[in-house]
Structure 1
Amino acid sequence: MAETYIAELNVARLKYDISDPRVADFVNNLNKVNAVAERSEGFVWRLAEDASKGETTVIMDDPRVIPNLSVWRDVVSLEKFVFQTVHKRVYARRAEWFGAMEKMQFVMWPVPAGHRPDLAEALDRLERLNTQGLSEEAFGWDYARTNEIWRTGRCSQTAA
């Protein structure tokens, strides 16, 4: 059986344009958070952009919607990065920079080792989750059977 990794897509819509001073703390921390991700155990690959230099991919016909696409060895590695690193401090401030979206904005799915999903594939998985619900092909934290660090991490508003 071929080795399987986990891909994840997270999309969020900024409240303000990416050059607006009200999102500067978010933009200024992106490179640090991405560097930590790349050094994290279990990290495999990410769609690389530098928002601090204005490099952003427009999706959903909206320049304020920012995608984050990456591949991890397993869900637990991703979970530890999201909720036990500097990412947690940035995540805790998300309401300052991002508005609520109408549908699910985060999805994970299995990919063969070596596969690098593109945004079309990732958005298809997100749409599958939103229209068909949880499955082995499109799921979130509550479906992933992890150590469940996310249960306390996602609710916490305090910096670690």
Structure 2
Amino acid sequence: MRDHKLAVYTFNQFVAPYQSDKISGFRVAEPEILVTIENAAGFIARAGYDGEEDPSYWGEQVFPDCWTNGNGDGWAPSTLSLWASVEALMAATYQGRHGKVLRHGKDWHVPADHIPEYVLWWVADGSTPNWAVAVDRFEDLMTNGPSLRAFTFKNAFDPNGRPYEPDVAIVKDLAKQNAQKA
């Protein structure tokens, strides 16, 4: 997997406008969570947002067709980032500060069993996906289910298209490394 990086796109919809009191817990936690993620073992880079000085801008941010803009604020929580491995992403996602905040997602996000919360895929070294590519992969997963082109932790693939079972021992070791940095 050395000649590939793992891309991840996350997407959800808020139960209320971003600036509302109902979303304040997310808003307050977001800056610290971004720093925690960026300092995690195996993190490579993340897409910035229009108007954000750093990190780099990976194209115009777009949302999947399932996005309804039900809050009318033109915004939905989404991220696009690159990782060294499935295990590194799992450790950063489900452990530590991000893992604790993630458990509050049900308070902030619209329940939608038919819409995935994220999609994974491999990109060759030297390549950086943009938001449009990420949304395309997300919609592919939503429509067709997991494949090498668009998969999840539960149904992962290696860069050669073989089913891949993440190594739990590596996830735990990386989570410990992340906790020591925090």
TMscore range, shorter length: 0.7 to 0.9
Structure 1: where are the runs of 5+ without partners? 51-56, 150-160
Q: In the alignment, what sits opposite 1:146?
A: 166
Structure 1 residues 117, 58: CA separation in 2 closer, same or farther (over 3 Å shift)? Answer: closer
Counterpart CA distance in 2 for 1:41 and 1:146 is 16
- What secondary structure sits across from 2:154 in the alignment? helix
Q: Using the alignment, how far apart are the partners of 2:104 and 2:12 within structure 1?
A: 13
Q: CA deviation at 1:97?
A: 0.6
Bigger share in helix: 1
Alignment match, 2:131? 119
Matched, 1:84 2:104: no
- Misfit runs of 4+, over 6 Å: none
Q: Does 1:71 align with 2:99?
A: no
Q: Aligned residues: percent identity?
A: 24
Quote the Cα distance in structure 1 between the aligned partners of 2:80 and 2:68: 18
The unaligned stretches of length 5 or more in structure 2 are 51-60, 157-164, 172-182
**RMSD value over aligned CA atoms?**
2.2
Question: By percentage of residues, which structure has more strand?
Answer: 1
- Cα deviation per residue 1:83-109 (whole Å; 9 max; x = unaligned)? 112001110011111111332231000
Query: Any conservation in 2 of the 1:2–1:112 contact (CA below 8 Å)?
Result: no
Instruction: Give the counterpart letter for 1:116 in structure 2.
Output: T
AA aligned opposite 1:147 = D
State the AA in 2 paired with 1:125.
R
How far is the alpha carbon of 1:58 from its aligned partner? 5.9
